[in-house]
Amino acid sequence: MKILVTYFSQTGNTKQIAEAIHETLSTREETDISSVRSIEFEKLDDYDLLFVGAPCHDSDLAPPVKGFLEKLPNSPRFKLVGFFTHSTYMPERDERAKQLYDQWAGRCHLSFENTCSAKNINFLGYFHCEGKAIAPIENFIHQEIITDEDEWNEYLPELRKHPDANDIENAKKYALGILDKL
């Protein structure tokens, strides 16, 4: 099997996840890694499996990845797995976390699902985790999303740790789990 891990990362979080996935998949299969910006679309036919990664921007996948997905061919031979990092909570935490996640990151997985469904691409699922935000985004979150000071003081130091060793481990496990299911 031949695998491609391709991603966009503005500040390095998604790149860290991409590199972890690449590292772990390389122990089992021939695996390439490349930025979405340097993909040659005619070469995608060489792959059986694509892992496509993005940061969440404006509640959705960042534009370079949306653009990449739009350019994918219909009914390709490869299957696709998504991954993304975001600065809202993980939705499993509690009801509030789920609500904020749905509102501020909830379109990410839908973009993968909808593109794959429209293009008849076999979509195998997605991995996601939190990623620290640059200062202007932290300010935006503080002003618009997590405005309560107590909650903010708990949230921010926690967010700044991600992606952490656990996220990296989970990403690797998720990627290997995909191989096991194929």
Where do contacts with ligand FMN occur on this chain (CB under 6 A)? 9-15, 55-59, 85-88, 104-105, 131-134, 137
In the complex with ligand FMN, the residue whose CB is nearer, 11 or 117, is: 11
In the complex with ligand FMN, the residue whose CB is nearer, 16 or 79, is: 16
CB of 120 to ligand FMN, least distance (A): 29
* Residue nearest to ligand FMN as judged by C-beta position: 131
CB of 67 to ligand FMN, least distance (A): 15
In the complex with ligand FMN, the residue whose CB is nearer, 10 or 153, is: 10
In the complex with ligand FMN, the residue whose CB is nearer, 9 or 24, is: 9
CB of 94 to ligand FMN, least distance (A): 17
SS (H, E, C) the chain: CEEEEEECCCCCHHHHHHHHHHHHHHCCCEEEEEEHHHCCHHHHHHCCEEEEEEEEECCEECHHHHHHHHCCCCCCCCEEEEEEEECCCCCCCCHHHHHHHHHHHCHHHHHHHHHHHHCCCEEEEEEEEECCCCHHHHHHHHHHHCCCHHHHHHHHHHHCCCCCHHHHHHHHHHHHHHHHHC
CB of 42 to ligand FMN, least distance (A): 27
